[in-house]
Each structure stands twice: as structure tokens, then as C-alpha cells.
Amino acid sequence: MEKNPSEEKSFHMTPEEFRQHGHAVIDWIADYQSRVETFPVLSRVKPGEIRASLPASPPAHGEPFDSLLKDVEDLILPGVTHWQSPNFFAYFPCNASGPGILGDLLSSGLGVQGMLWSTSPACTELETHVMDWLVNMLGLPQKFLSSSTGGGVIQDTASSAALCALLAARERATNYTSNKKGCEGKLVAYCSTQTHSSLEKAAMIAGIGTDNLRLIEVDENFAMRPEALARQIDADQRAGLTPCFVCATIGTTSSNAMDPLTAIGEICRQHGLWMHVDAAMSGTAMLCPEFRPLQNGVEFADSYNFNPHKWMFTNFDCNCFWVADRKALIQTLSILPEYLRNQATESGAVIDYRDWHIQLGRRFRSLKLWFVIRHYGVEGLQHHIREHVRLAQQFSQWVKEDDGFELAAPVPLNLVCFRHKAGDAANQAIMERLNRSGDLFLTHTKLNGKVTLRLCVGQTHTQAKHVEHAWQKICEETEAAHLA
């Protein structure tokens, strides 16, 4: 007898199964959040250990969902470095929150691909709206508003934002011909010796070439020297080159240095250069009006970006990127093949975000950002940012008061760069002991050629007791290393 096709096994998860397993996953995440402090912050597995624990070939037949979740617990968790631990002080935060996770889950549930306004109008319009909200929440120039000449778009990362900014600068400087004809090796871009490496990558990809990316020297606070920038631009112009782009940073990765935006902006304006401001982590601090003097001069910016996925409780990935002149960006990145033509686009009345970044397809990322902003409110976000800054300032005070340690850079916000006076080997030893202990995780940089420890406060659940414990542990390990 022939089988009725409707009785065939579908292999899919039914809505009822989804509901049941979904509850189990949410329970697992909630439990993870409650017990995250019980794990060593830095994963202890050796290279290859996780793969060795996995079956060599994929299953021929589907497995019960319970066994998937069990393997996450038994096989995957040991190989996780716990970025969501309140004792995570390394690199920069990548904090997450309940509303962010749930917003992201909804985005997956809707499964929208918002490359064009018409492929899901809500995906585009919510994004535009939230990006406009953020302009005012962060005290950014009104020209970044979608109702003005500019507008904002969510990118995956600050690296992509920098690349888009550099591409638009390149096009503007060549009267929109380099997309077609390529670069002739004459365009020059500028950043400081402390700028994030994503700018070097952007120069590689954009065809500027790293030989044409000038790393401008910094002052004793690791901020770009505007007079050195002006000198270099003059020299390049005299050599027949075409300066086109400057990246200034609000909060460098190594030491949280603040480049002087006003002085840099005036130079950019004088020479017609595109000024991009990278505020990847520290941009979040601008939610609090008292920190905004750190971005004085931002009105000169042609583009600006920050990562809510670093410090604003919005789980990775989520980068907010604004331009003052959206036409320059769109003209740089727009291509309209026949199969994407549609009435809404032709009408000119809508935003098609595919023209605002590298890739075509895009997730509904604004949902998680919207959830975070609505859950915390401006007040809740400000509360946590102020607290993180307060804790970092307190930590820096303990460093200052200790004879063995010294601060290695100013502490404008939530990152403390410090070192033991006994030198590089001692600092390396202290850091390794701390990270091996599993109690906390911090990382290092080099400032003025010296190994420097970095403690960055920004995890969602980091409280005073965690920072106090970190300092206590640092003192203990210093003593154990016979350095006290």
C-alpha cells in the first residue's frame, strides 16, 4: 500500500517540541547565569581537547534534544571562557543581558532577512528609529539623525564600520571614481600609533594599502598629537599624495586614551578629510552627560561608531555606525541588480540598509537593542555605567596607594592600566598566576614598551565585591610570587 505523504516523518521539531525544549534552554541559560561564578573564568582546556571529545562523523539519524543540551554541559562548557562572569576583567567587556538575549531570540524566531525595506519594513524602520534615539541618548550631533542629512545603521562590528567609513572617504576623495577605476596608490589615511588594528585591516581591504596608513605619534597620555597629524598631512600633500581620512579614537583599546577631537576635527575640516570617530567601548559612557566632555569636538565627525555589544548590555554582535552624509555612504556601497528592484526602492521613500554596509543580508539586530533600551531605560543604563566607572576609579586609587604598583596611564573611565614596579617578568608572572587561579581573568598590553596589566570593569553583573576581590587576589598573588 502506498504511504500517505502526510504521514511521512517530517524530521522537523514540532511547535510543541519547540516550546518544551525552548523552556529547557531558557532554564539552562538562567541556571548558567546563576552559577557562572563557580567556573574558572579562563577556560583550562588544551588545544584540540574539545574536538577530541566530539564524534568524528555527524549522526546519520537525529538525536533527542536532551542529549544535545547534555553535551553542551559536559563537552562544551569546559571549553568556554566565561565572558559573562562578573570576574571577567580582560580585554574589554562583551556584556549581555536578559532583555538582549530575549530580543536576539525573537530575531531568530522571526527569521527575518532585512536586506531591503520591502523584505521586512519593521526591520528597517525599528533600526532607524532606535539609531535616532541613540543620537540623543549619547549627545551626538543632530546631523547623524535620519531626519537630517545623515543616519545610523547597525553593523556587525566596529571593524566593519571602520571599513565602510574608509571606503566612503576614499570614494568622496576621488569624486566617486575609485570604485570603478581602483586606487592609484596616492590616497593617504591617518590614525595614531594606538588606534585599533581594525584600521590597518580596513586600509588593506579598501585598497589604500598599509604603507599609506600613517600612524601618528601620541603624547604622554597616549592621545594623538594633532600638530604631528598636521605636519604629516602637509608633508604628504607636498609629496603629491591625497590625504583623505583620519580615524580618531574615544577610548583606545590599549589604555583608553582620548584623542582630541576638536583639534583633529579642525585639521580635517581645513584639508577636507573625512573624520571617523571610533568609540567602540567608551561610546557607551556618553549615555551619562558628565562623561561627554570626553567627546568634545564630535560635531566635526563625518562618521562615528560604538559597540553596544561591548559595554551596553546588548549581546554580541551589535555595532552602531552613523554618518553625517548618508548620500556619500550609499553612493559608495550601492549596487542594484535587477532581482532586487522593487517599487518601494524606486520610490526613494525608504531606506534599504543593504546599501549601508558590506554584506547584502542582515539580521533583525535592532530588536535586542530596542529591548535593552526599553528594559533598562536611560536611567538604568546610566546607573550601571556610573557604577562601573566608580569601581574602576576606586581600583585605581588602591593601585596609587600601593608602593609596589603604579598606574601606567590616566583612568578616564572604566579601564585601569597598572603595573608592578619590579618590571616585565614580574607583571607577566602576576598575570599568569591570577589567570591560572580561575578566580578572575585580566589581560595585558605594552605601554612605552613595558608590560602593563589592564583591568576593565564592564561586565553586566560586576559589583564592588568582585573588584575588591580582584585587588585582594592581585595582592595575594604578588606576595606569592615573592614580589610584595
Ligand X SMILES: Cc1ncc(COP(=O)(O)O)c(C=O)c1O
Strands 187-192 and 213-216: parallel
Which residue among 158, 286, 440, 457 contacts ligand X (CB under 6 A)? 158
Shortest distance, position 309 Cβ to ligand X, whole Å:
7
Cβ closest to ligand X, residue 146 vs residue 319: 319
Which residue among 85, 95, 157, 462 contacts ligand X (CB under 6 A)? 157
* Selected range binding ligand X among 49-57, 140-148, 154-162, 414-422, rule: CB under 6 A: 154-162
Residues between 302 and 341 with contacts to ligand X, criterion CB under 6 A: 307, 319
Residues between 392 and 431 with contacts to ligand X, criterion CB under 6 A: none
Shortest distance, position 255 Cβ to ligand X, whole Å:
11
Cβ closest to ligand X, residue 116 vs residue 258: 258
Shortest distance, position 385 Cβ to ligand X, whole Å:
16
Dihedral sign for Cα atoms in the order 389, 395, 401, 406? negative
- For residue 406 the three cell numbers come to 603604579
Cβ closest to ligand X, residue 116 vs residue 134: 134
Residue 39 makes contact with ligand X by CB under 6 A = no
The whole-angstrom separation of Cα 22 and Cα 16 is 10
Site map (CB under 6 A) of ligand X, residues 244-283, x = contact? -----x--xx------------------------x-xx--
DSSP conformation class of 46: P
Residues between 67 and 96 with contacts to ligand X, criterion CB under 6 A: 92
The whole-angstrom separation of Cα 194 and Cα 213 is 13
The whole-angstrom separation of Cα 206 and Cα 209 is 8
Q: Half-sphere exposure of 208 toward its Cβ, with a 13 Å CA cutoff? A: 33
Cβ closest to ligand X, residue 252 vs residue 427: 252
Site map (CB under 6 A) of ligand X, residues 341-380, x = contact? ----------------------------------------
Dihedral sign for Cα atoms in the order 182, 334, 109, 284? positive
Cβ closest to ligand X, residue 159 vs residue 174: 159
Residue 192 makes contact with ligand X by CB under 6 A = no
- The residues that bridge with 416 in the sheet, in sequence order, are 455
Cβ closest to ligand X, residue 190 vs residue 405: 190
* Angle, CA of 175, 181 and 183, to the nearest 5°: 80
Strands 187-192 and 242-249: parallel
Residues comprising the chain, all counted: 484
Rg of the chain over CA atoms, in angstroms? Answer: 25
Q: Residues 350, 124: contact at Cβ < 8 Å?
A: yes
Cβ closest to ligand X, residue 242 vs residue 443: 443
Which residue among 128, 159, 194, 478 contacts ligand X (CB under 6 A)? 159
Cβ closest to ligand X, residue 192 vs residue 249: 249
Shortest distance, position 400 Cβ to ligand X, whole Å:
25
The whole-angstrom separation of Cα 444 and Cα 427 is 9
The residues, ordered by sequence, that sit 6+ positions from 415 with a Cβ below 8 Å of its Cβ are 92, 251, 255, 256, 281, 392, 454, 455, 456, 457
Which residue among 82, 172, 196, 363 contacts ligand X (CB under 6 A)? 196
Buried/exposed 93-113: b ≥16 CB within 10 Å, e otherwise: bbbbbebbbbbbbebeeeebe
Site map (CB under 6 A) of ligand X, residues 197-236, x = contact? -x--------------------------------------
Helix (H) or strand (E) holding 454: strand 450-456
Instruction: List residues binding ligand X (CB under 6 A).
Output: 92, 157-159, 196, 198, 249, 252-253, 278, 280-281, 307, 319
